[in-house]
Amino acid sequence: MGNLVLSRRSGERLVFVDRRTGEETVLTVVRLTPSTVRLAIQAPAGVDVLREELLARDSTDADGRMPPATDGP
């Protein structure tokens, strides 16, 4: 899998469309500072959005599935 590198300014968005269902996930650049980027993510209810460090820590359960998503931070 290759990488696509894009430049975005504060307030600009990226839209990811599931070709099978037409559902959209929208990534918005909320704020930029010299050391951080704040992002807002709007995704369909069935899409899990995980930070990479949590994905590695939580890994999969005994059946090879991701643990169920929880509401909240």
**Residue 68 within a domain:** no
**Residue 6 within a domain:** no
**Residue 42 within a domain:** yes
pLDDT at 45: 92
**Residue 72 within a domain:** no
Range of the domain at 33: 13-58
Query: Do residues 23 and 15 touch, judged by C-beta distance below 8 A?
Result: no
DSSP 64: S
User: At 1, is the pLDDT very low, low, confident or very high (cuts 50, 70, 90)?
Assistant: confident
Number of domains in the chain: 1
List pLDDT tens digits, range 34-73: 999 999 999 999 898 888 888 777 665 545 555 565 555 5
**Residue 4 within a domain:** no
What's the rounded mean pLDDT across residues 23-28?
96
Instruction: Tell me the whole-structure pTM to 2 decimals.
Output: 0.69
For residues 58 and 56, give the distance between their C-alpha atoms in angstroms, rounded to a whole number: 6
68 or 21: which leads in pLDDT: 21
